[in-house]
Amino acid sequence: MKNIVILISGRGSNMEALIAARDAGTLPVNIAAVISNRPAAQGLETAARAGIATHYIDHKAFAGREAFDAALAECIDTFAPDLLILAGFMRILTPDFVRHYEGRLLNIHPSLLPSFPGLHTHQRALDEGVRIHGCTVHFVTAELDHGPVVIQAAVPVLDGDDESSLSARVLRQEHQIYPQAVRWFAEDKLTLVDGKVRLAAELRDDSLLRSPELR
Ligand code: GRF
């Protein structure tokens, strides 16, 4: 069974979706540890309650990104992860860190990449007036919120939506596609080859989800 480590910074609802899938028997992984850069991250308590090893490494205690990332990687590597999962981890990672975990580092981003990288994706989608929005699981590369796409889910932007209603609709899909992507990795159906996603042929149709609100 593959070993995974999850990095969080806050609420940790995507992490919870992964724990729930593991507990339901639909995600055959060992969640070796949950690590946060914020000591007060709500998700740390949730993980501890689930009996998972937790750590925090406060980025504010380090002089720069390189030093923080080196300490973070040292902690992560004590768990020998096959896969490292960014789940609301709000730090830009150094190229050295990204290279170290190449092909075994996934992120979830709350937009249909390459649209709306960065922050405040839902408000920006509303401001642009797009009709379709969503979320993306991708392998991480040195470029922020960029990298080979594994799976996306599309949701409609409805009349009367505000940031909160739209983000809730997207989040429901995040909780579907992240466990799905990790399951594929765990089952050796998902790999990164020469910078491109290689997905078992029978899964191609499953790599685009539509929310029930999307006609
Ligand atoms: C999610 O919207 C995720 O896509 C983004 O940060 C948010 C984290 O939420 N990267 P949670 O901590 O998983 O609840």
CA distances from 177 to 96, 128, 139 (A): 28, 25, 14
**Torsional sign, CA 214, 168, 14, 193:** positive
Is the pTM higher than 0.95? The answer reads: yes
pLDDT in tens, 151-204: 999 999 999 999 999 999 999 999 999 999 999 999 999 999 999 999 999 998
**Which of 13, 112, 116, 172 to mutate for ligand 1's pocket (most ligand atoms within 8 Å of CB)?**
13
Nearest to 107 by CA among 91, 126, 123: 91
Distance 181 CA to ligand 1 centre (A): 15
Distance of alpha carbon 133 from alpha carbon 24, whole angstroms:
29
* 1 confidence band (pLDDT: 50, 70, 90): very high
One domain, residues 93 and 31: yes
One domain, residues 67 and 113: no
Shortest-distance atom of ligand 1 to CA 109 = 4
Distance 171 CA to ligand 1 centre (A): 8
One domain, residues 121 and 65: no
Number of domains in the chain: 2
One domain, residues 15 and 80: yes
Q: What is the pLDDT of residue 204?
A: 85
For the chain, give the mean pLDDT. Answer: 97
Q: Which two tokens stand for residue 90?
A: 């709000």
Is 133 marked active-site? no
According to DSSP, the residues that pair with 154 across neighbouring strands are: 134, 210
Give the residue from 47, 76, 101 where a domain finishes.
Answer: 101
Q: For atom 8 of ligand 1, which residue has the closest CA?
A: 88
What phi-psi label fits residue 124: left (phi over 0), alpha (psi between -120 and 50 degrees) or beta? alpha
Distance of alpha carbon 136 from alpha carbon 208, whole angstroms:
10
The CA angle 96-102-108, to the nearest 5 degrees, is 100
For 15, the enclosing helix (H) or strand (E) is helix 13-23
pLDDT in tens, 39-72: 999 999 999 999 999 999 999 999 999 999 999 9
One domain, residues 44 and 119: no
Q: What is the pLDDT of residue 208?
A: 94
The enclosing domain of 5 has a CATH number of 3.40.50.170
- The domain in which residue 198 lies consists of 109-137+144-215
Q: Which residues contact 73 (CB under 8 A, 6 or more apart)?
A: 97, 100
One domain, residues 129 and 199: yes
